[in-house]
Amino acid sequence: MSNMTSQQPSVPPTFELGGDVIINRLGYGAMRLTGQPGNFGPYADWEGGQNLLRRAVELGVNFIDTAEAYGPGFNEELIASALHPYPSHLAIATKGGIDKPAPDNIRANGSPENLRRGCEASLQRLKVDRIDLYQLHRPDPNVPFAESVGALAELQREGKIRHIGLSNVTLNQLEEARKIVAIASVQNRFSIRDRTHVDILNYCTQNAIAFIPYGSLDAHPLKRGAPLADAGGNLREIGDRHNVKTNQIALAWLLHYAPNIILIPGTTTISHLEENIAAASIQLTPDEIASLEVVS
């Protein structure tokens, strides 16, 4: 491990989602525990999926990300079958606003009626009275954005949602939504290699909004594997110095980047799960962080 100095950046282990739900910043994204290809249908190894989810919680994960579209529905059912009744410290985030009738047919449906139907179906599948974090999966170009956000605000007023999040949004959409209702999180693609959404991330940091990157290991949503687990260059060099893998350095870098980043790396493998969670204990030096400004 590298030497600690007085200039070590501080890396808080937890974040207060929406100001009142304390979560460990290294969570778990459950999307891959679905039928393949296309994240469609029930996960083939149902019992293996249950074991993996239980192991995640055992290792300290208390934030799990899912969506109605994963399965659709089966991913939420798997989570409930593995973990319900939930420990009181566990927060489950799901998403609505996408129709997925076939593995290769996925389309936004952000109508207020569909968001209400989806939220109520997720409540049933997850076996909860209130969803900790309900995210609009993606804006629907055929529905005024304010109508979709307004529908989520209504569900929150009715007590069905604790906090509201957005996914795959622009900075303008985030600002528009915040005029309607408090937004607790944004889930957009972001990694050490793909920093396209850095403007939204910075805005979220300034406004104490959680930023939940997907693709944190640069994975393709429909293909297996994580390119950042096989990186070379400076990621490899720093990984060797810490005696850890490059995917772990890529995750540690995100935790150092901003205190409001919550990680949800997905995996179907317990050894990968353990490896990813261990990234939370890696302390990077200021020199290492500076050298990762550009990854080779």
Ligand X SMILES: NC(=O)c1ccc[n+]([C@@H]2O[C@H](COP(=O)([O-])OP(=O)(O)OC[C@H]3O[C@@H](n4cnc5c(N)ncnc54)[C@H](OP(=O)(O)O)[C@@H]3O)[C@@H](O)[C@H]2O)c1
Catalytic residues: 70
In the complex, the smallest distance separating the C-beta of residue 193 from ligand X, rounded to whole angstroms, is 12
Burial of 81 (0-12, 13-18, 19+ CB in 10 A): middle
Nearest position to ligand X, beta carbon: 266
Q: Between residues 28 and 86, which has the closer beta carbon with respect to ligand X?
A: 28
Angle at which helices 74-83 and 46-58 cross, to 10°: 60
- Residues lying near ligand X in the complex (CB under 6 A) are found at 29-32, 65, 167-168, 187, 214-217, 219, 221, 224-226, 229, 247, 264-269, 272, 275-276
Number of alpha helices (DSSP H) and beta strands (DSSP E) in the chain: 10, 11
Measured CA angle at 165 (ends 162, 171), to 5 deg: 150
Token output for 206? 């300034």
Residue nearer to ligand X on the CB measure, 8 or 189: 189
Q: How far is the CB of 222 from ligand X (least distance, A)?
A: 9
* Shortest CB 148 distance to ligand X, Å: 15
Instruction: Say if strands 21-24 and 14-17 run parallel, antiparallel, or are unpaired.
Output: antiparallel
Q: State the minimum distance, in angstroms, from the CB of residue 157 to ligand X.
A: 25
Task: Indicate the residue among 83 and 219 with the shorter CB distance to ligand X.
Answer: 219
The residue assigned the tokens 């104490």 is 208
Give whichever of 114 and 167 is closer to ligand X, judged by the CB atom: 167
For 94, phi and psi rounded to 5 degrees? Answer: -130, 180
